[in-house]
Structure 1
Amino acid sequence: MQLSQSQQIAFDKFKLGHNIFISGPGGHGKTHLINEFHKTGNVALCAMTGCAAGVLHKKARTIHSWSGIKLGKGSRSEIVADLSKSAIQNWKSAKILVIDEVSMLSADIFELLNHVSQTVRKNELPFGGIQLVFSGDFYQLPPFGSDCKFCFESPLWSTLFASDCHIELKENFRQTDPVFQRLLNNLRTGSLTQEDIQLLKCRMNCNPSVDLATAKLFPKKKTCRGD
């Protein structure tokens, strides 16, 4: 598959060695673009969860596992002292680090990863001089914990990612119906119009003629369990 215009802009920035943040709704080619990055050479692929890592690439790992920080608990000096040999080698050999689903990356863990990288690599540059590719959609899952800040709220963010390296992918590869695309985009941003609501209501079928074992979606686990 050829790269779209916005994907190509991101790829060109990547090839020039810039740190880049790639955003955009689902279906806009973030995963495909990351796999194109991976083909170029020494790229460590990580994600915030095991499920996200599995979707990203068969060799991808969670950032907590790859980096050796585990749950990120304890003082920074304790975490560095407890790093495994393999984690230390990961940091020392890394040229490019990709982290997917960064909406779930808290400011605290972001800054911890920076400290670990600088310490292990003995390099005071941000992230010890490693080129970074962050990917995700901040309209999706936030960091775990009610008092956690997003990674972009850390002062470190603007140090690493220049404004012209914030790249939003524009082309939708998953949906072709413009009406459905608009509906999904409005749902994503919480800005449904009355037209959108009526469109959803017209698709409701309260008395289906066929007895189907249909899937039911709920926003919370306790609702799924019937609590």
Structure 2
Amino acid sequence: MADNKELELAWEFVNNTNRSIFLTGKAGTGKTTFLHRLKMDCLKRLVVVAPTGVAAINAKGVTIHSFFQMPFGPILPDTDLDASKSFNRKFNKTKIDIIRSMDLLVIDEISMVRADLLDGIDRTLRRFKDRNKVFGGVQVLMIGDLQQLSPVIKESEWHLLKPFYKNGFFFSSHAYQECNAVTIELKHIYRQDNPTFINILNEIRNNVLSEASAAELNKRYIPPDFTPEPDAGYISLTTHNNKAEATNITELNKIDGQNRFYQAKVEGKFPEYAYPNNEALELKVGAQVMFVKNDSSLRSAILMEKLEKLFI
């Protein structure tokens, strides 16, 4: 990572200044690697949060709503965050101590964070830190790519929010406008080293696909009636979860044998919307299983080994 000037610049800003930072870049440019390095080597007292459960797991942090105990509806400037009866807004002593001692707040997948939510974070930090400083004086590192996932805002929610914000993105928040964040864009792609492929990805990303790139992609076109052999190793990519679910059910039904059902064990406060997988898992002996390794603990490794013996 030492050969990337942008990454080293970000490292210097985080560790040697109190300036808030928006760290952005295409997929594969090292944003997640930078976050992991920060957690290992940064001397500042930091907290890592993300807008969704899956993003929080990947960042090895917690969700914004759980850490800051935020409501899920629109947070208007005159909203009394402590008046809601639908969730617990009373911070315990441990949480208060963590916030008061915090030097750096890292928000991963910032592109998904609504403007009002970032302002809600600002109000919470001011409450327990310095009321007269944006984010209570805490340095904020915002990591994400604005050309990936955007904030989820229902039409009814935007109707309430639009008098206060130009759009729903985090950079329209009052806190972001005030914090004078420096933007650092990572441009070197580590994940791919094929220049032709990188060029095609960039063209698609910017919606300027050339005829030459389209022709290169079409060389690999497979007709819709193509059916791969079971052991050919193809992976199906779909646009929606329900399509993936339909494919899984179809393939599972092709396997003879008894269905086996496994129910998730949920510990503590873990809302259903944040589940990384279905609460009930249906499998058969011989089913193809794809593991997403988010938990590096010994217990997780033992569980994965048992599942592999059963189904692979």
Distance 2:69 2:82 in 1: 13
Gaps of 5+ in 2: 159-167, 247-312
- 1:160 match: 179
Query: In 2 relative to 1, CA 146–82 (structure 1 residues): closer, same or farther, beyond 3 Å?
Result: closer
User: Following superposition of structure 1 onto structure 2, how do residues 17-28 of structure 1 map, counting pairs within 5 Å?
Assistant: 17-28=18-29
Distance 1:210 1:113 in 2: 49
Matched-pair contact (CA < 8 Å) for 1:45–1:97: yes
Query: TM-score scaled by structure 1?
Result: 0.86
Query: In 2 relative to 1, CA 120–171 (structure 1 residues): closer, same or farther, beyond 3 Å?
Result: same
Query: In 2 relative to 1, CA 209–78 (structure 1 residues): closer, same or farther, beyond 3 Å?
Result: closer
Query: TM-score scaled by structure 2?
Result: 0.64
Deviates more, 1:184-193 or 1:20-29: 184-193
For residues 102-130 of structure 1, give each alpha carbon's deviation from its aligned partner in whole angstroms, at most 9, with x where no partner exists.
01100011111111111122522011000
Gaps of 5+ in 1: none
User: Following superposition of structure 1 onto structure 2, how do residues 43-82 of structure 1 map, counting pairs within 5 Å?
Assistant: 43-57=46-60, 60-69=61-70, 71=72, 75-78=80-83, 82=89
Matched-pair contact (CA < 8 Å) for 1:67–1:90: no
Q: Name the one with the larger helix percent.
A: 1
Aligned residues: 223
| Aligned residue type for 1:145 | I
Q: Does 1:91 align with 2:99?
A: yes
| Aligned residue type for 2:6 | S
Query: In 2 relative to 1, CA 189–161 (structure 1 residues): closer, same or farther, beyond 3 Å?
Result: farther
Distance 1:88 1:209 in 2: 57
| Aligned residue type for 1:128 | G
Query: In 2 relative to 1, CA 210–223 (structure 1 residues): closer, same or farther, beyond 3 Å?
Result: closer
- 2:188 match: 171
Matched-pair contact (CA < 8 Å) for 1:21–1:161: no
What's the C-alpha RMSD, in Å, of the aligned pairs?
2.6
Query: In 2 relative to 1, CA 6–29 (structure 1 residues): closer, same or farther, beyond 3 Å?
Result: same
Deviates more, 1:192-201 or 1:109-118: 192-201
Equivalent of 1:181 in 194, 198, 207: 198
Matched-pair contact (CA < 8 Å) for 1:96–1:131: yes
- 2:10 match: 10
Distance 2:204 2:154 in 1: 23
Distance 1:204 1:63 in 2: 41
- 1:31 match: 32
Matched-pair contact (CA < 8 Å) for 1:96–1:133: yes
Matched-pair contact (CA < 8 Å) for 2:21–2:140: yes
Matched-pair contact (CA < 8 Å) for 1:27–1:173: yes
Distance 1:170 1:9 in 2: 13
- 1:219 match: 239
Q: 2:82 aligns to what SS in structure 1? A: helix
Matched-pair contact (CA < 8 Å) for 2:70–2:81: no
> Larger radius of gyration, structure 1 or 2?
2
Compute the displacement of 1:131 (Å): 0.5
Compute the displacement of 1:208 (Å): 6.0
For residues 126-167 of structure 1, give each alpha carbon's deviation from its aligned partner in whole angstroms, at most 9, with x where no partner exists.
1100011000001111111244501112233232134xx100
Q: 2:175 aligns to what SS in structure 1? A: helix
Matched-pair contact (CA < 8 Å) for 1:69–1:83: no
For residues 58-117 of structure 1, give each alpha carbon's deviation from its aligned partner in whole angstroms, at most 9, with x where no partner exists.
xx1112222222536673232698233143333222110000000110001111111111
Matched-pair contact (CA < 8 Å) for 1:101–1:135: yes
Equivalent of 1:195 in 200, 212, 218: 212
Deviates more, 1:174-183 or 1:40-49: 40-49
